[in-house]
Structure 1
Amino acid sequence: MRFDEFQAYRQRQLEEGAPGSLLDAAETNLYRALAAIRPEPPVGTHTVYRCDLARAWLRRFELPEEWSRRAMVSRGVRHGLGVVFRQLHDERARLWLPSDVYPVYFELAHAAGLTPDAYPTLPAPVLPDAQAEDRPEYLLIANPTKPLGRCLSEAECDALIAWLEGAPGRRLLIDAVYDLGAPFSAGTRRLLGTGRAILLHSVTKGWLWPRTFGVVLLGEGDAELAAAFRENAPSQEQLRIAESLLGEHAGTPGRVADELAVRAQRLLDRLPPELRAAILEESLTSPGNYFFPVDIPAETLQRDYGVLALPASVFGETAWQGSVLTSLSDTFGS
């Protein structure tokens, strides 16, 4: 079942069922759920410079300020990936995407003229073992990753580094948009330390401002990509919003994480013990998480427990028969 199909199904179930008969654990709209926390846009018409925002972003995440030449300002992760994917097409690069995380990854790749390969992440990432080719090769990984609802483990980082070392033309693309902490997670920092990773981040989740501002942290040898970003900059209005978010509203990601922790606990408190015990353990301890995978089909959860959950298929192609609970519905709100 695709995402749009499931949303229509979910709406029918909630409208047709008796009040309170179905626990809605399938809301995915973070912005609607946490609308009260979202900062207001700033008032003003002053000029904001991208270089200043890049340095502010680096300081926030405790990264070296001398990396500012490599910190490309974007309009968010989607925009950043679109620019990167067009460059990969020009390089005739091979691209690996997670098949069951975010269908938009594939939409952006196809729009750039790429035909990506896929690898699964549910119920745990399984990296491709295909033989290296004589061309650039990129693998996209999200960290933290949805819908697993957790950061990469040390062993998974070991496997990614081993994949990189399998060929000199291999690189990583790290989507860190779900990382609400500062600095970034230990795994992300370790992968950046290989010198063979491009990091993408934005204010979408931590500040609840989608498609506004982000940073793509390039490697030393990505001069052509740097030029592409400089030619495709955010508007002054978007830059002023970013300045306000990183400055006046620096504490918003912490508030978002706190509210999500409260909602997660309320979800867990409503679940029967056997269902709570079925949740993949790592997702229970990941800060700011609202995805909770269980190795039980969504149909079984609804029939046997009265819980409406997301089938794994809404996140993309997957052979896993489990489902994902979320803690965003108004039932779990403050």
Structure 2
Amino acid sequence: MSISVQKNEICFYIAFTFLFMSFFISDIKYDFGNASSMLRYISYVVLVVQLLEKKWSLKELICFGVIQALCWLFFLITKDIYWGIIVLVIYAGKDIKPENIFQYNMLLVSLGIFFVFELSLFEILPNVSTPRDGKGGLLGDRYAFGFVHSDVLPVLSLYLELYYLWIKQKISILNLGLFISVELIINNYCDSRIAISAAIIVLILGMIFTFFHSKILILIFEKIVYLAVASFSIFSGLMTVLLLEGGIYDDIDTFFSGRFRLAILKSVNVGLNALSLHSNDFYFADNIVIDNGYLYIILRYGYLFIGVFIAINYLLVKKADKNPIILICIFAIFLLNFIDNDLLDYAFLPFMIYAFSNKIINRKLE
């Protein structure tokens, strides 16, 4: 892995590291106190320094100023600085090679996994078990290896595979075999249906597009991927309504570990709004965790915010330029967030930056 960093990009990578750490430590089974908030504030300051060196056009400066003003207004009301930082990191990363950002995030995730795993083996971090809740009660041991939940390690390993495919923009049977083998080994200890299901889908789609070079097939798949966020959002919302009828919908919800039932309970507490201005303290007061990226966005920020991710979905597919490997990655990411919540996390951050980047990863398929 080779990452070339220009002198004028140093502040970006420093800020990116602090921002990554602020998100990553929340996935570790340890109480870091206010460290997460402090790291985000430091990241914000360093990003501002980075952007002071940027050459702005008048139109770009006005657009940035308006968006940041709205983010600050949102912060003053909700005490949530997330969107202000994300806007900064997107603008700061617009002219940086996206390959470098993906590789750097890949490095940070790999190091994070290594240190957390090692600390759990030496029992410095607890290796908790999070058994699945089924109709017959708690089902089996699912080890977390230092993370807060047994799904974290398998999902992160899957993201590493997706980063690799995204950077290389090509796939081979050897790659697919290696990826699925790693997921199966991890799944043996973590029992994560989320990661193994997504990995199998990547495997199947990868084999289809490896053996069948059909432009019509790629075009059809591209249309499907364009609708990924909208489709998963609608289906997630419908499930919370249909679940009230019970029957088969109750069985579906049980298969997904009660995610939609929890979303219903959360909506009772926080409401359903076009734009949600609840404070962090109010939103998180009930300790209900929403493990569906689309329902989390809708309940935390309002259903209008789904439009942001529909736009990101569109930009990513457009930049894919009908490359089936990239389309598979995009589909896998948004499928993963149907049963996980990574759209506002460090794992999804490189994709968010790339969606608005001025540069494109463009390699010819071999």
| Higher helix proportion (structure 1 or 2) | 2
Q: What's the TM-score once normalised by structure 1's chain length?
A: 0.29
